[in-house]
Amino acid sequence: MSFATKKDEENGLSTYYNNKTTVIQEARVFNESPISPRKCRALLTRIVYLLYVGESFNTQEATTLFFGTTKLFQHKDSALRQMVYLAIKELAETAEDVIMVTSSIMKDMQPNSEVIYRPNAIRALCRIIDPSMAQGVERFFKAAIVDKNPSISSAALVSAYHLFPHAKDVVKRWVNEAQEAVNSKSSSSFFGSSSSGGGYLGWGGSSASSNTGYQPIPSTSYITQYHSLGLLYLIRQQDRMAVTKMIQQLGGGRSGAGTTLRNPMALCMLIRYAAKVMEEDPNVQKQMLDLLEGWLRHKSDMVNLEAARVICEMKNVTPQQLTRSIAVLQLFLSSPKSTLKFAATRTLAALAVTHPSSVAACNIDLENLISDPNRSVATYAITTLLKTGNEASVDRLMKQISGFMSEISDEFKVIIVDAIRSLCLKFPAKHESMLAFLSGVLRDEGGYDFKRAVVEAIFDMIKFIADCKEQALSHLCEFIEDCEFTKLSVRILHLLGVEGPKAPQPTKYIRFIYNRVVLENATVRAAAVAALAKFGLNNIDAKLGRSVNVLLNRCLDDVDDEVRDRAALYLKVYEEPPLIQPYIKEESIYSLSALESKLVSYLSDPESLEQPLDVSSIPKISKAQAAKDSARPTTLETIGVPSTSKAATPPPPSAAETQSNYASQLAEVPEFASYGPVLSSSTKPSPLTESETEYQVSVVKHIFKEHIVFQFNVSNTIPDTVLEQVSVIMQPQAEAGLTEDFIIPVPTLSASTSPGIVYVSFTRETPEEYVQASFQCILKFVSKELDPSTGEPEEEGYPDEYQLEDTELAAADYIVPSYVTFASEWDRMRGGVSLTETFSLPAMESLKAACNSVIEILNMQPLGGTEDPQSPTVHTLQLSGLVAGGGGKVLVRCRMTYSKAQGVTLEVGVRAEQQAAADLVISAIGG
């Protein structure tokens, strides 16, 4: 096949040559007699090319081409047969009845077949056969896996890897052959056995040997070990002990010299398996660390780097354990190879986040890399130095950074900006030079991600470094004058509305904000109106308030309804000053997930629609908490840090999101349809068994208006056993005022289907009371063994039971944490129910322990940072919550003192909207 030249492409010849219709028409070349290998190879190449560039053939076209291709099996040309298998493998995904060519392919993969295309036949067979046929070709695959020819062995191993998801039981039986392949000492040749003669790749030589003979070429790659190790891990990945044993057997002892693995990629994969085992089971960390340190001395740079990276990423790694790996990485910093320097600086940049003092040993080598011609290496070197350097080196580094910011991509600019962002907080005294640098790059060309990183860095400086606030706000004001990104303009305007009124000269920001009302799009204009209103309504200056009122009146003629509505709202607040607190100064908002859950249950219940929505039972959270929940993770040290092999851990759901998830889960159970909306659910499941036991059970309590539902999450960890008729028997230890309704058991529970959910429902005999009780719990089930041959449970089982820990229905189950402004709300509730009790807690060893205990017992929201005592002897803890089922708002003020002789003395003051709610709090602490 001749490739089209640029001139041909301009003439459209290339488009015609690789046109799908043309290719299908030319497929008649497969039917010619005699077959022309050259023409057929050229056409097959074009078919494969079209498939690789994304062209698709419909089922009929693919089937026609597929069976046309199979006619070429009668020709013995080696190069043509290889191309046939490549085309068959790609077309098999779309064509129909492909299984019909199985016998033709199997002829070419016979153990005595000395043909170069035997590996191609093995790979094609993997795509063709039905999973149910895997057992029929088992002996061929087993023989191929242990074949002396590495290309045949690798083809069989890779095919087995692809077959595994569809025929697990069959492929698992090939583990001995895979083990033999991974332990193979050497391979005779790359293309064939040494016994066959003839020309290379079937070309040249006598006519008798031209189709089967090829010059033997010794293989030194040991690639078979890489493929067989991958298959072994795939088979054993569910058995941690087997994986650990495999790593220890192949690791070669503490020095690493005894390993049978000769392929560097196989060793790198083994290192990654060791990292995964260490992460899942910290008990084997020391054994694995010994192996990793042995691999640091391997002759392959690839293996050294992988071992050093894994040690650097270990959980709770100590500076002593890092010494050797950092020494290896330091050697790579002076390597002439850019790839090694890049990999080493990247690893050190990530490590510098948690262990800057350990990485500081490499600072001299890293400084030499700042002028490296590879700007990626230089970027990582500088960011690492920024994290490990001292205050004296900041100015020098800033000058060096300024020199090449224009030469690197936005991706690396973001990394540098983030390093400076964390450095600002580390050395606040150097904020002037860093703020000057950030304001400079803010004026440079760059995309959204880069500008956002700079703006967020300045935001953090405003938040944490008071001395630079005014100057930073001025830089942001200049930036929004010519900002092309709406999102950034809106965020900056919001910040100006929050911080501007607190500045010594708030009036100087008004001009910049009002310019946005005149010159920008509707979204930015609306944000500017909200920012203006905060200047006018924060009672800074009466004259300023009147001026802002005039500007807001002008906004009433805006063409956009959102801008007009906001202006009208704030002008109404001007007329009624009491509205300033809820609309301008309020620090809390409704929890959005809790609000959504309440609205869904309100709309789904026809009877509730007759009454207005009661928002008093919806918990509130602070605006800071809401921002934290809604923002993606932007931890200073994580942005710009190189991504590792581990997947990022998603943030845990908030308490309100958990409640919302439980509510939707319960709504799917028809037995609870008449119970109405769930009033509250436990924030997290309480374990009733140890984590190492064979049966693991945890409980979640759901409070309804007239019912209480216990949700038991049951897990069966025994892989060879199935549990049937799984239920939990609950027995109250005293008269509780609860009547059991029913139990919803789990019909069948295996290790793969765990966890299953058992529900136990009780009716509250007096719904207006908050019942507190303790229950004995027993897990009951019928245990059945799994038949190893069929995987089905046996007919006969035996009933069994398992004693669980007691579970309690306590005050915390009725209370939902809710945020309020404590001082104003405490004064507002002065005329309501008020109780005060004093308690002695001699067992408490500190005020912090007492605070944690009270918060856990009551499940209430700590306010104003009072959960962390500032004094070791005297403290006041402020708590807020909502009591489910109409109990209303409840506030708690705990005044406490500590002395070594008496422990903690606690005075609890409670103010509530209902007497029952106040009694519930006092009884919980007193109990």
Between residues 103 and 773, the one the model is more confident about = 773
Q: Determine the residue type at 420.
A: I
Between residues 198 and 702, the one the model is more confident about = 702
* Window from 44-48, 613-617, 913-917 with minimum mean pLDDT: 613-617
What is the rounded CA–CA span in Å between residue 359 and residue 361? 5
pLDDT value of residue 850: 87
pLDDT value of residue 287: 85
pLDDT value of residue 884: 79
Task: Dump pLDDT digits (tens) for 785-811.
Answer: 877 666 677 777 788 888 888 888 888
Helices 223-236 and 240-251, packing angle to 10 deg: 160
From residue 63, give the alpha-carbon distance in Å to each of 88, 96, 149, 718: 10, 6, 33, 47
Q: What is the mean pLDDT of residues 580-588?
A: 73
What is the rounded CA–CA span in Å between residue 33 and residue 448? 63
Between residues 472 and 628, the one the model is more confident about = 472
Give the confidence band of 208 by pLDDT, cuts at 50, 70, 90: very low
Is residue 846 a contact partner of residue 868, using CB atoms and an 8 Å limit?
no
Q: Determine the residue type at 393.
A: S
Backbone angles phi, psi at 323, to 5 degrees: -55, -50
What is the rounded CA–CA span in Å between residue 208 and residue 198? 9
Which DSSP string do the residues of 196-241 spell out, in sequence order? --SSGGG-SS-TTTTTT------B-S-HHHHHHHHHHHHHHTT-HH
pLDDT value of residue 11: 45
What is the rounded CA–CA span in Å between residue 691 and residue 612? 46
Helices (H) and strands (E) in the chain, counts: 39, 19
Q: Is-above-0.85 flag for pTM?
A: no
Q: Is the pLDDT of residue 283 over 50?
A: yes
pLDDT value of residue 193: 39
Q: What is the mean pLDDT of the chain?
A: 80
Return the bridge partners of 854, or none: none
pLDDT value of residue 164: 87
From residue 230, give the alpha-carbon distance in Å to each of 162, 235, 308, 309, 892: 11, 9, 21, 20, 59
Task: Dump pLDDT digits (tens) for 395-422.
Answer: 777 777 777 777 777 888 888 888 888 7
H helix or E strand, kind and range, residue 809:
strand 807-809
Residue 821's closest CA among 586, 617, 627? 586
pLDDT value of residue 201: 35
What is the rounded CA–CA span in Å between residue 327 and residue 466? 41
Is residue 489 a contact partner of residue 527, using CB atoms and an 8 Å limit?
yes
* Window from 18-22, 82-86, 300-304, 912-916 with minimum mean pLDDT: 18-22
Q: Is the pLDDT of residue 489 over 60?
A: yes
Secondary structure letter of residue 712 according to DSSP: E
pLDDT value of residue 645: 41
Percent of the chain exceeding pLDDT 90 equals: 6
* Window from 29-43, 500-514, 630-644, 837-851 with minimum mean pLDDT: 630-644
Secondary structure letter of residue 504 according to DSSP: S
pLDDT value of residue 542: 77
What is the rounded CA–CA span in Å between residue 682 and residue 859? 9
Q: Is the pLDDT of residue 203 over 60?
A: no
Secondary structure letter of residue 793 according to DSSP: B
Q: Is the pLDDT of residue 216 over 50?
A: no
pLDDT value of residue 2: 41
